[in-house]
Chains A and B, each alone.
Chain A
Amino acid sequence: NAGVTQTPKFRVLKTGQSMTLLCAQDMNHEYMYWYRQDPGMGLRLIHYSVGEGTTAKGEVPDGYNVSRLKKQNFLLGLESAAPSQTSVYFCASTLQQGAGDTGELFFGEGSRLTVL
């Protein structure tokens, strides 16, 4: 059981390049999230999805796009990378809550992105 897997783990981009981060979960979770974490800071929510085919904006969505074509995958795209997007990106997922559920978030190991 792999849990939440992010690829790639490291990437260096030049300003203006595009790329996609992939998040895959094998726990049949409905909800998926993308966060970014800058050095010494907490996590900030970029986008999230409450189910296949749905996405929504979080706290800091500008410059990013997402897609959830399959329930197990949540893609984060940067169309034109900027140095301000240098960060560590974390994906997380959780179940559709029911009584007694803690709503525990399961995180991936992170993807470190550097934009030069």
Chain B
Amino acid sequence: LAKTTQPISMDSYEGQEVNITCSHNNIATNDYITWYQQFPSQGPRFIIQGYKTKVTNEVASLFIPADRKSSTLSLPRVSLSDTAVYYCLVGDPLYSSASKIIFGSGTRLSIRP
């Protein structure tokens, strides 16, 4: 089971690009990297998932270097509504045993006007 390490908190301002890095040195060959976002008083929601290189959707981009030992979630031009906790998870989506779905403490992102 690949353990992940993320910064506990980050601050930024509206309109800036925010990059949150996750370290996962023991990632396995079949593992994917998945990011979730959690607003206060809500359950987490899926943002993006990737295996290598770069993945982009309407919400964020995910950059994964060749060695896959880390990944970076990029949020372009953040707004106040992006204030949330962001979780990085590593696991094999073809093997959805809950032992693979462990949430760490996440990164608490605060956006200021």
Contact = CB atoms under 8 A, between A and B. Distances in A.
B46 A105 contact: yes
B97 interface: yes
Interface in B30-89: 32, 34, 36, 41-46, 49, 85, 87
B36 A105 contact: yes
Contacts, number: 73
B95 A105 contact: no
Interface stretch (A12-20, A77-85, A92-100): A92-100
A98 B94 contact: yes
B109 interface: no
Nearest to B36: A105
Nearest to A96: B96
A41 interface: yes
Contact of B103 (A43, A94, A95): A43
A104 B32 CA distance: 12
A59 interface: yes
Most buried by A among B36, B94, B95, B96: B96
